[in-house]
Structure 1
Amino acid sequence: MHHLKISVVTVCYNAASTIERCIQAVMGQCYSNIEHIIIDGGSTDGTLAIIEQYKDTVARVVSEPDKGIYDAMNKGIALATGEVVGMLNADDVFAYEHALEDIARAFEDNSTVILYADLNYLKPNGLVLRKWVSGRYKHGMFSKGWMPPHPTFYCRRDLYKQLGNYRLDFGTAADYELMARFIHLKKSPVFYLERVVINMNTGGVSNNSYTGRAKVLFLDLKAMYKNRVKYPLIALILKRLRKIKQFF
């Protein structure tokens, strides 16, 4: 069952407090055919010394300056040799030890091109802050503000060759833009794995400035127009409202 290779790309920068937990989360998976690639932005805080301790389990490590997180993800995709690629943020972990096994099983069925699942946001004390239950996708849902949680997004590597990588001109919305392009615009077949696959650790309250928030909204909107999402302004509002629902 373990013949399908999955490449897990972790992008990090000065992540000394979390990178070990992330590497151990990959090591703790029951699935054996995993290629863990770490793209580091040139950390100065001891991150690399921690990664070095795991050099037998981490397949590739690159440490150099980059043009931000999505540039680093693109580097990881370029180095990946697995049939399937997914991203695991430095402060995220798999929610259970059979997560990659379940993902691989879905891809064994050749009709699966893209997979997404559910995600929990954890507070620093380990309790669940928000539950992101994705729900089954039907075409047109992007126009209702829907998107899958990016850390649960896995796809066949050749899809990046066909449809392109993360676009740096979309800033913080690059992951949304890519998923809208792959799923909504290009109508790639998707599979919903109805389980919490990733636990995302929230490092407390994000102190977004108003200008920062406005820019995020603008980039989301730009991504919606680019990928022909209907009624982008309504979709933008609904996308924001969906987040609130996750707290209850």
Structure 2
Amino acid sequence: MENLDYPKITIVTPSYNQEEFLERTILSVLNQNYPNLEYIIIDGGSTDGSVDIIKKYEAHLSYWVSEADDGQSHAINKGFDKASGVLLNWLNSDDILYSGTLHLIAHYYNMHKSEHVFYGDRTILDKDDRVIGVNEGPSFKKWESKYFLKIPQETTFFTREIYFKVGGLNNDLHYTMDVDLWTRFLRECSFIHIPYFLGGYREHHLSKSIEVFGPNKRSDKAQKEIERYRQLYGTRVGRMPKVRKMLFIANQLRLIMEKSSKKRRLEIERIGEIITEN
């Protein structure tokens, strides 16, 4: 990787009764073969076969625990309290990283040492790893956060410095904890977009996205939390569907323009070289 350093990267996986997917998640991290990885798993006291899966790979883990916690945000914060990496990310126990992602993140960090948040594009997977959708967009603009702030969580890496500066995840949030964190990040820094698919988000019957946005509409708890986020940050998310539709179309046009630019084509070509090298 051009003789650049390998900054320590800490991945935290919060897990609870996800034995169907957990091993795939773990292998997607370990098979990165990144030389300076710190991998932490915080299990919430699973009663299925999750602990046996974790023990199978414990020699490759920096830390793991299985005990009751106060939810996903609390588990992630517990993991990051143990972290010593320069760059942090959490990967849920049903999601995956794609090959070469950590080397690519290290490359971008080394090229942009003054930046703090790096994110890529995502695929959407079903329970059998089939791709059923994608989240691919143009580079994010700060002003857009008033209308939507949709950064793929599993592809977002951030510095330890910025994470603890803004106070980490809010333990009281269970549905909007990522967008709440991104909003606080935006007060401190900009985001660097990596135009490449770095990870896969899995949709299945227990996914939070199904609970929040699925055919049965949002649970009361999710709806209240989203409304709390709107009031706290003055966001117009969901309240202006016509504006959102116009912005979506504008974003798609921006994406087409970015993809056709020589700069982006050269960047993707270089990304391909980095992935191949590692």
> TM-score scaled to structure 2, two decimals?
0.78
Match of 1:140 among 138, 143, 147: 143
How much has 1:111 moved relative to structure 2?
1.9
Are positions 1:111 and 2:114 aligned together?
yes
Moved over 6 A (4+): none
Who is 2:27 aligned against?
Answer: 24
Gaps of 5+ in 2: 253-278
Who is 2:100 aligned against?
Answer: 98
Relative distance call for 1:127 and 1:20 in structure 2 (3 A) is closer
Who is 2:177 aligned against?
Answer: 174
Who is 2:258 aligned against?
Answer: none
Match of 1:227 among 195, 219, 233: 233
Paired with 1:170 and 1:236, the residues of 2 have a C-alpha distance of 28
What is the Cα-based RMSD across aligned positions, in Å? 2.7
How much has 1:98 moved relative to structure 2?
0.9
Amino acid at match of 1:188: C
How much has 1:204 moved relative to structure 2?
4.6
> TM-score scaled to structure 1, two decimals?
0.86
CA contact (8 A) 1:181 1:227 kept: no
How much has 1:19 moved relative to structure 2?
1.5
Relative distance call for 1:209 and 1:123 in structure 2 (3 A) is closer
CA contact (8 A) 2:147 2:235 kept: no
Who is 1:12 aligned against?
Answer: 15
How much has 1:235 moved relative to structure 2?
7.8
Match of 2:50 among 31, 47, 57: 47
Higher mean displacement: 81-90 or 142-151: 142-151
How much has 1:130 moved relative to structure 2?
1.5
Gaps of 5+ in 1: none
Task: Indicate the SS of the match to 1:140.
Answer: helix
Who is 1:238 aligned against?
Answer: 244
Task: Indicate the SS of the match to 1:61.
Answer: strand
- What does the per-residue CA deviation read over 1:81-117, in whole Å, with 9 as the maximum and x for residues that have no partner? 100100111111112x211111111111212200111
How much has 1:139 moved relative to structure 2?
1.7
Task: Indicate the SS of the match to 1:170.
Answer: coil
Percent same amino acid at aligned positions? 27
Task: Indicate the SS of the match to 2:179.
Answer: helix
Paired with 1:71 and 1:182, the residues of 2 have a C-alpha distance of 19
Paired with 1:128 and 1:36, the residues of 2 have a C-alpha distance of 26
Who is 1:122 aligned against?
Answer: 125
Paired with 2:8 and 2:242, the residues of 1 have a C-alpha distance of 36
Paired with 1:224 and 1:188, the residues of 2 have a C-alpha distance of 21
Who is 1:188 aligned against?
Answer: 189
Higher mean displacement: 12-21 or 199-208: 199-208
